[in-house]
């Protein structure tokens, strides 16, 4: 094998907030999960399995949040997901009929969806019996994937107070759930939103973690100034290795203007038949309330910046995905060659993305990834795929430096999660955090009911801390739901706190709360001491 | 310069968007500081009714009405610098443009009477701020490869020494938001 001139470290982060509403026949927000399974997680699994079966040598790091893993294992969600897929298949069949008589230029797209839905249903149910965590775990066992995890409910750690105990709770519960749900220990940690605050490294290393992923500015602004900017990890004095996400490659994919997913040939995300076709036709496939929603069937390509859209051409889009994969590979090869000459050692370029970008928004994303990994194996010319843990085994000991606090949000700091749309939450989260520490320290280990109460209080606190709620309030999308979820968990937490203070436990209230959010079954409130 | 949060609210009552059934206070005096970015700090506080009653008893209604609510931000270093911000008025959440270059601060909130006596009510824990620029100090055994810094800066269209507020970061975020803003998944990318 050619000696490595540099490394490409692909990191995909899969996360969704915990959503579970058995009280409703259908919930808008549960669709986040079903869309992500059908459009992202299954296509990615399909891609990785195909590459592995064909003997392509690749390595990808894949982060799973504990909330997502809990939902993937949940029988209610499995049943509802199957119902969702079956309904997509039924809609696609209906569409095959309709477009055979009219809009025949849309037939290739309809056929593509029909085939995809059926194939991914088989992959989900027949091949993996609905157990996606184990499916990805097998790829990890074979050395293709490196699985890592994140904070239990994806809390935005820099803003949680009191910080040490809140971070410890998020980390310990996240790691325990990951271990329980995947059967393996995580060495790496995806910091939610790449959010870092001084002192967090001690908590992560105390939990047995080796590395985390930060945004490049956290490395570029580290102290002392790192020798290799963001192209080699640094190590904190506490022993946590920090990799920096590459901005250059990131822009090629993420830029709203020139990013690959904006190519005119790619499938347009926004034109969905849930909005385009008469409600009496698509009504049963949107929502039981009759409100319009995306169905997942989208027949147009991006075409251009106007509302004029032309029919999607799957074969042409596939060619573009291949071309973009080659362009990305070529750009990274040039990048690492240039860097290696100056660095005197192989650089590591970390390409980190949300897993849900691939397939859900960018339909051709998994195909792009497949081409990239194939070409990297066959035509890498010294550029090798690597995972963070493998890199740590092969590379020299990183330079010791203290990362700068930051995040991957706009501006690079905390503004996305702390602004006038959402700042009210921190007063309450901070108070709840103080109360949780107080309760944990006073907790009576002899009394099982009080122990359950304390564990449920910690569960409610964790759920209220999810970074998604502050984010959604900030964007205005699903803001009301985000406010409600924050409020509901804080109200439940405060109720339990008052019961604890009064020395009583209402069994019915406690059971109700436990049943409403049945996750983190091994949670131990002592983590908050 | 200081900015009152849009969540300006009377001491009693909920902010816009804040569920009204969450506690107005938690029975304790609290000052929480959090960095928004290297130059701006968010401060939120709550003062228990018992503390307000105590202040009324100690100072009397007249004197208390002449007091101003003051947020003091102390540099946690040798400089001893202190920034004083008048936070009188209905809001209990404030955004403060920092005057200090210190990267470590702590705060206290209290009442300042017309004679200049300060009655502290709550003190924050220490807050660390991010640095704005790449560190000028380096380890002689790890001499920085400046071209690598310049490459990052070029790729996001900024001068290396102002990389920190890089347009690239904003562009990345805009790219994500543009896509994710209308998508049905909340996603994790920001």
What CATH number is associated with residue B45? 2.60.40.10
**DSSP calls for A44-107:** HHHHHHHHHHTT----EEEEE-HHHHHHHH-HHHHHHHHHHHHHHHHHHHHHHHHHHHS-GGGH
What does the mean pLDDT of chain B come to? 80
Distance from CA of A224 to the nearest CA of B (A): 5
A368 vs A282, more confident = A368
Residues B149 and B90 in one domain: no
Q: Assess whether pLDDT exceeds 50 at residue B1.
A: no
Query: Which among A445, A497, A461, A429 has a CA at the least distance from the CA of A170?
Result: A461
- Superfamily of domain covering A6-411: Glycoside hydrolase 38, N terminal domain (3.20.110.10)
> For residue B90, is it within any domain?
yes
Distance from CA of B159 to the nearest CA of A (A): 13
A254 reaches B (C-beta below 8 A):
yes
> For residue B111, is it within any domain?
yes
Please, which contacts does B11-18 make with residues 24 or more away whose CB atoms are closer than 8 Å?
B11/B47, B11/B90, B11/B92, B14/A424, B15/A424, B15/B93, B17/A421, B17/A422, B17/A424, B17/A473, B17/A479, B17/A483, B18/A424
What pLDDT does A78 receive?
98
Sign, CA dihedral A106-A110-A113-A115, equals negative
Pairing of strands A383-385, A241-245: unpaired
Residues B152 and B119 in one domain: no
What pLDDT does A410 receive?
79
Pairing of strands B40-46, B30-37: antiparallel
Judge contact between B73 and B105, C-beta under 8 A: yes
DSSP class of A401? -
- A220, A414, A477 member nearest B181 (Cβ): A477
Residues B159 and B97 in one domain: no
Residues B78 and B119 in one domain: yes
B151 vs A286, more confident = B151
Residues B59 and B33 in one domain: yes
Tell me if B36 and A413 make a contact (CB, 8 A cut-off): yes
For residues A422-447, average pLDDT = 93
Residues B91 and B170 in one domain: no
Residues B104 and B158 in one domain: no
B131 reaches A (C-beta below 8 A):
yes
Sign, CA dihedral A497-A493-A175-A127, equals positive
Residues B94 and B154 in one domain: no
The ranges assigned to domains in chain A are: 6-411, 419-528
Rounded to whole angstroms, the Cα distance separating A442 from A457 reads 14
> For residue B78, is it within any domain?
yes
- B46, B128, B163 member nearest A220 (Cβ): B163
Residues B23 and B86 in one domain: yes
Q: How many domains does chain B have?
A: 2
- B17, B142, B182 member nearest A399 (Cβ): B142
Rounded to whole angstroms, the Cα distance separating A153 from A176 reads 12
Phi and psi at residue A267, to the nearest 5° = -65, 130
ipTM: 0.92
**Residues of B (148-177) whose Cβ lies below 8 Å from A:** 148-149, 151-152, 155-156, 163-166, 168-177
Phi and psi at residue A297, to the nearest 5° = -95, 115
In chain A, what percentage of residues exceed pLDDT 90?
88
B115 reaches A (C-beta below 8 A):
no
What pLDDT does B163 receive?
54
Of the CATH numbers 2.60.200.20, 1.10.10.10, 1.20.1430.10, 3.40.50.970, which one belongs to the domain with range A419-528? 1.20.1430.10
Q: How many CA atoms lie within 13 A of A485 on its CB side?
A: 27
Tell me if B34 and A159 make a contact (CB, 8 A cut-off): yes
Residues B6 and B58 in one domain: yes
- Other C-beta atoms closer than 10 Å to the C-beta of A491 total 17
**Residues of A (487-516) whose Cβ lies below 8 Å from B:** 487, 490-491, 494
**Which chain B residues are closer than 8 Å to A229 by Cβ?**
144-145, 148-149, 151-152
Could you read off the pLDDT of B91-124 as tens digits, one per residue?
A: 889 999 999 888 999 999 999 999 999 999 999 9
**Which chain A residues are closer than 8 Å to B42 by Cβ?**
418, 423, 426
How many residues appear in chain B? Answer: 190
Residues B29 and B116 in one domain: yes
- A224, A408, A424 member nearest B17 (Cβ): A424
A251 reaches B (C-beta below 8 A):
yes
Residues B53 and B145 in one domain: no
> For residue B171, is it within any domain?
yes
Could you read off the pLDDT of A124-137 as tens digits, one per residue?
A: 999 999 999 999 99
Give the domain range for residue B161: 140-180
**Which chain A residues are closer than 8 Å to B175 by Cβ?**
251, 254-257, 259
Residue A412's pLDDT band (boundaries 50, 70, 90)? confident
Judge contact between A371 and A329, C-beta under 8 A: no
Least reliable range by pLDDT among A207-211, A243-247, A513-517, B57-61? B57-61
């Amino acid at each position: 094998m050619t000696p490595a001139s540099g490394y490409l470290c692909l990191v995909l982060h899969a996360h969704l907030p915990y959503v579970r509403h058995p009280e409703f026949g259908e919930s808008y927000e549960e669709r986040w999960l079903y869309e992500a399974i059908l459009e992202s997680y299954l296509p990615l699994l399909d891609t990785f399995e195909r590459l592995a079966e064909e003997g392509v040598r690749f390595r990808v790091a894949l982060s799973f949040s504990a909330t997502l893993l809990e939902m993937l294992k949940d029988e209610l969600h499995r049943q509802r997901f199957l119902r969702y897929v079956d309904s997509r298949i039924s809609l696609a069949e209906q569409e095959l009929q309709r477009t055979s008589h009219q809009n025949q230029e849309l037939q290739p797209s309809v056929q593509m969806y029909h085939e995809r839905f059926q194939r991914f249903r088989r992959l989900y149910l027949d091949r993996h019996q609905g157990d996606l965590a184990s499916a990805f775990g097998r790829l990890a066992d074979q050395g293709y994937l490196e699985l890592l995890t994140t904070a239990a409910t994806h809390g935005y750690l820099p803003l949680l107070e009191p910080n040490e105990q809140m971070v410890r709770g998020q980390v310990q519960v996240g790691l325990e759930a990951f271990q329980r749900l995947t059967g393996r220990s995580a060495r790496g940690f995806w910091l939610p939103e790449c959010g870092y605050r001084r002192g967090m490294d001690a908590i992560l290393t105390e939990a047995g973690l080796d590395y985390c992923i930060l945004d490049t500015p956290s490395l570029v602004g580290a102290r002392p100034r790192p020798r290799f900017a963001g192209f080699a990890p640094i190590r904190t004095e506490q022993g946590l290795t920090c990799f920096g996400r590459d901005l250059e490659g990131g822009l090629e994919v993420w830029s709203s203007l020139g990013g690959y997913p904006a190519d005119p040939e790619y499938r347009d995300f926004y034109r969905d038949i849930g909005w385009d076709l008469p409600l009496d036709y698509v009504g049963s496939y949107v929502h039981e309330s009759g409100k319009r929603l995306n169905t997942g069937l989208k027949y147009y390509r991006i075409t251009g910046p106007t509302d004029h859209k032309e029919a999607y051409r799957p074969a042409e889009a596939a060619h573009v995905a291949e071309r973009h994969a080659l362009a990305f590979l070529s750009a990274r090869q040039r990048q690492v060659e240039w860097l290696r000459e100056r660095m005197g050692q192989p650089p590591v370029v970390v390409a980190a993305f949300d897993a849900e970008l691939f397939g859900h928004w960018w339909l051709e994303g998994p195909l792009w990834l497949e081409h990239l990994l194939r070409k990297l194996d066959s035509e890498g010319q010294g550029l090798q795929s690597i995972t963070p843990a493998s890199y740590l085994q092969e590379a020299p000991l990183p330079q010791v430096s203290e990362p700068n606090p930051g995040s991957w949000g706009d501006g690079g700091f905390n503004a996305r999660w702390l602004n006038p749309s959402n700042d009210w939450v921190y007063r309450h989260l901070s108070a709840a955090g103080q109360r949780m520490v107080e309760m944990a320290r006073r907790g009576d280990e002899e009394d099982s009911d009080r122990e359950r109460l304390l564990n449920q209080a910690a569960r409610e606190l964790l759920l209220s801390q999810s970074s998604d709620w502050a984010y959604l309030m900030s964007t205005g999308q699903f803001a009301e739901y985000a406010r409600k979820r924050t409020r509901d968990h804080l109200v439940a937490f405060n109720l339990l706190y008052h019961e604890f203070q009064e020395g009583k436990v209402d069994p019915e209230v406690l059971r109700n709360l436990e049943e409403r959010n049945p996750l983190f079954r091994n949670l131990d409130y002592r983590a908050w001491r | 310069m200081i900015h009152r949060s849009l969540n300006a609210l009377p001491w009693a009552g909920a902010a816009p968007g804040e569920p009204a059934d969450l506690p107005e206070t938690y029975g304790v005096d609290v000052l929480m500081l959090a960095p928004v970015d290297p130059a701006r700090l968010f401060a939120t506080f709550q003062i228990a009714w018992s503390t307000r009653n105590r202040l009324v008893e100690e100072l009397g209604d007249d004197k208390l009405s002449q007091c101003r609510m003051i947020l003091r931000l102390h540099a946690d270093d040798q400089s001893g610098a202190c920034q004083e911000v008048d936070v009188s008025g209905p809001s209990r959440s404030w955004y403060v443009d920092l005057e200090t270059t210190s990267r470590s601060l702590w705060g206290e909130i209290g009442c300042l009477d017309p004679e200049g006596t300060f009655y502290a009510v709550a003190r924050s824990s220490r807050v660390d701020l991010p640095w704005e620029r790449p560190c000028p100090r380096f380890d002689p055994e790890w001499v920085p490869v400046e071209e690598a810094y310049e490459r990052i800066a070029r790729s996001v269209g900024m001068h290396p020494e102002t990389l920190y507020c890089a347009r690239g970061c904003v562009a990345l975020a805009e790219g994500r938001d543009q896509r994710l803003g209308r998508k049905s998944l909340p996603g994790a990318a920001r």
